[in-house]
Amino acid sequence: MSSPVGDQAAPEATTPLAGIRIVDLSTTLPGAFCTQFLADSGADVLMVEAPGGSPVRALRGWPAFGRGKSSRVLDLKSAEGPTELDETLRGADVLVTTFSPAALIDLGIDSNALLARYPRLVIAHITGWGRSGPWRDLKGYEGLVLAKAGLSHAVRRMAQPPRPSYVAVPYGSYAAAHIAVQGILAALHERDRSGLGQIVDADLLRGVHAIDAWTWFGELVGIRWPEAYNSVEAWTEQGTPQSPMLLALLSAPTKDGHWLQFAQVQPHLFTAMLTELGMMELLADAKWKGFPVLESPELYREFWSMMLAKVGERTLVEWQRIFDDNPNLCAELFRSGPQVFDHPQLVHDRRSIVVEDPEVGPVRQPSTLIHTSAGLLRQPSPAPLLGDRQGKWSADAAVADPGEKGRSTPPLTGTTILEFGEMFAAPYASSVLADLGARVIKFENMGGDNIRSLLQFPEAAGAKVMQGKESIQVDLHTDEGRAVAHRLVASADVVLQSMRAGVADRLGIGVEALRAINPDLIYVSAPGYGVDGPYGSRPAYAPSISAAGGVALTNTPDAECATSSLDEVMHQVPRITTAGTSAELQSDGLAALSVASAILTALVGRDRGRPLHELRTSMLATVTHVLTDWLVDYEDAPAAAVPLPGGNGLSALYRIYDASEGHVFLAAPQPKEWTALVEALRDFTELDEERFATPGARAANDDDLAGRLEAVFSKEPAVFWERHLGAAGLGCVELYEGAPARLIQTDPQLAAEYTVSAVSPVFDEHLRFSPLVRFSRSEVRAPGGCLAGQHTVPVLREFGYDDATIAKWQDAGVIHCG
């Protein structure tokens, strides 16, 4: 195996999770993501596979998903299976499963019984919907989750004209995996105090809602005060932008057909773009009065079309020269597949490695998600051969110290995190950890975090990311402000900063300055691009990262070549823009969940005497992990999954169909589901034909099969098909065609399962989404948000500043008290 020359991995014995033993029973992508991260962090992961191997082995990304793990073949359905599993768990710290509640019963896996035998064991369940609630028995396929929760509707502009669309990027699987990671690591951290393990639950539905930055509170405002303000869709039904932001975040192809994603969001950057396009002089015409806010969709369309045409007058090489010469102008090239690894920042940060796989040869793949100042966290070993570790672990299960009984305090009680950053991509990580009991003190600039003002209703956009935090406003450009930060750092456990390259050092809160004050400090840098390098000083916006990281073209690969005319380009822009970033699904949330996992890894490493004092993640690096199955590269690699033309799914057995009323998502891709589907539809059509008899035959005749199913589903409403096929044990759900956040808040059964009551100074008592992880024993918190500077005075008093000093600083503009 190898990694780029000069990249130094941490020695195996010093990786933070070295010595943690994990039994991996998972058979799906969320489990693969989860245990890959844990293995990359040093854990000893043993995959328990059925005869024939895990389904994950069939994925293109298997060489990366399996790295650092070992394999044991065990038939859980055999007479000896339960006993052999029991022996395998002897000496394990963690068990990970992705079985449904019904499947666990069928296999005889009883988590409570396992805990009784192995009281220090942490058992993690990853499911589609959670193991309780009204949807617990639905099949857990990601396509079903996104469809029934309203996410397929939310990205309807991926189709033109708009209609519910299939999302290829595994947002839910990745998010659920990291929620499970957080639950596992928090439980291990708590175990050091109590001596006891417990059960943790993660699911895809909570995962996709975690990614959403602000629509929850936007919908809450609409529910409470429907006349408060009129929200305006970003695009008209005809696909015309009607938001100035879409002009600043312009997606456009060059003369030679390469799509670029601009991010000229700040006023001076937008002016630089219009100047380069030769369009500034147009604004003197009264026709464009009020620009960038325009009076009609027709005016937006006209101005937008001129911008697109101007970008299309130059080749990619010509635009790259302009970007090199003009620091106020930049754009990301839309990338896809392995070419993502060639992004200059990823090359600089050594974010791809080559591992020599014994079966397929050299495999280019993402490096570890966590880096240190020396490089990747661990040098991965290749994915295991099937059954390479059939022997038992040598150690028996440790006996639990009686410790605490019954319910315990939140697992991160006593942990203090200082947050220096804005928006969502890193700050939401500390919100997640606040729910687990951490104290989070957020340093805000004198104007407050910009996310607070992104929606028309004050504070709605920032309400979620402010949950559980104490906000202090301190001017870090002043000596007094830096002294405040330094005093708080002395007793903190973690500093999280997400500033652009060099900014933290200039403000006196860089890693060297703060670790000189507190040598035990865990310092986490989580910028958009990197802590240095060619893109480190650039602002990172979700559309830019999604373009550079391959998100947009993974969801809509056919849009890339649609550049033959301006009309065709205008038809594709709403599709490719939505494919990269929507309000509900974007890279910021994925990055935040990764940061939370990184922080917990460092905390557990510290518990075990393997501290990580400086960690680095980035939003761009996170995307390479999310898209592992598309980015890995090796000779004769199987093709990655590509959405069908029209964007309704992957195959006839995994896609959206029109019903007589509404739409359904059918998920029956496994060979073992075919017989049940044939029988369930026998009264509507005959599918037991030779051309559909085998998986290969069905694949060869996929269009014909889809046509047959289209005719069937058109005969009855979607609600009928969900009930009828669900009764046959098949995956089929009615698509929800409304706002996902509104559905959860207004359906009483869903609200009871997925929400809790919280209090904030803006929204008083309100529903918020519940904490992401559920524990069998540890409590969690569910606080509301805060105002900018709301806690400046009490925090300063707590850390020894008297009222006279506070008043003097307030008068001098050093602090602001909300």
Domain harbouring 678, CATH code: 3.30.1540.10
In a domain, 703, yes or no: yes
pTM of the predicted model as reported, rounded to 2 decimal places: 0.95
In a domain, 744, yes or no: no
Same domain flag for 223 and 196: no
Same domain flag for 44 and 141: yes
Same domain flag for 231 and 201: no
Using one digit for the tens of pLDDT, what is the confidence trace for 616-636? 999 999 999 999 999 999 999
Pick from 718, 736, 754: which residue ends a domain? 736
In a domain, 516, yes or no: no
Q: Are 465 and 440 in contact (CB under 8 A)?
A: no
Q: What is the dihedral of CA 666, 147, 670, 676, to 10 degrees?
A: -40
Q: Are 781 and 755 in contact (CB under 8 A)?
A: no
Residue with tokens 């006196």: 508
Using one digit for the tens of pLDDT, what is the confidence trace for 165-199? 999 999 999 999 999 999 999 999 999 999 999 99
In a domain, 174, yes or no: yes
Pick from 710, 736, 762: which residue ends a domain? 736
Return the H-helix or E-strand segment holding 598: helix 587-607
Q: Are 81 and 75 in contact (CB under 8 A)?
A: yes
Same domain flag for 51 and 132: yes
In a domain, 710, yes or no: yes
Pick from 531, 561, 581: which residue ends a domain? 581
Using one digit for the tens of pLDDT, what is the confidence trace for 515-537? 999 999 999 999 999 999 999 99
Look over the chain and give the mean of its residue pLDDT values, rounded to a whole number. 93
What stretches of 373-510 show up as alpha helix (H) in DSSP?
427-435, 479-489, 503-506
pLDDT at 12 over 60: no
Q: Looking at residues 766-770, what average pLDDT do you find? A: 96
Q: How do beta strands 494-497 and 469-474 pair? A: unpaired
Same domain flag for 123 and 255: no
Same domain flag for 147 and 285: no
Same domain flag for 191 and 237: no
Mean pLDDT is lowest, of 51-60, 234-243, 421-430, 490-499, for: 234-243
Q: Fill in the DSSP letter of residue 119.
A: T
Residue with tokens 């200059």: 344
In a domain, 128, yes or no: yes
**pLDDT of 795:** 97
pLDDT at 137 over 50: yes
Same domain flag for 253 and 296: yes
Same domain flag for 172 and 235: no
3-class DSSP state for residue 344?
helix
Distance CA 575, CA 654 (A): 21
Using one digit for the tens of pLDDT, what is the confidence trace for 30-57? 999 999 999 999 999 999 999 999 999 9
Residue with tokens 């998010």: 175
Same domain flag for 200 and 258: no
Using one digit for the tens of pLDDT, what is the confidence trace for 313-360? 999 999 999 999 998 999 999 999 999 999 999 999 999 999 999 999
Q: Give the contacts of 22 (CB within 8 A, at least 6 positions apart).
A: 35, 38, 39, 43, 44, 45, 46, 92, 93, 94, 95, 96
In a domain, 371, yes or no: no
In a domain, 66, yes or no: yes
**pLDDT of 738:** 94
Supply the range of the domain harboring residue 242. 216-342+541-581
pLDDT at 397 over 50: no
Same domain flag for 170 and 51: yes
Distance CA 594, CA 181 (A): 9
Amino acid identity of 267? P
pLDDT at 6 over 50: no
- Quick one: which of 545, 34, 632, 716 has its CA closest to 360? 632
Q: How do beta strands 375-376 and 371-372 pair? A: antiparallel
Same domain flag for 158 and 221: no
Number of domains in the chain: 3
Beta bridge partners of 361: 357
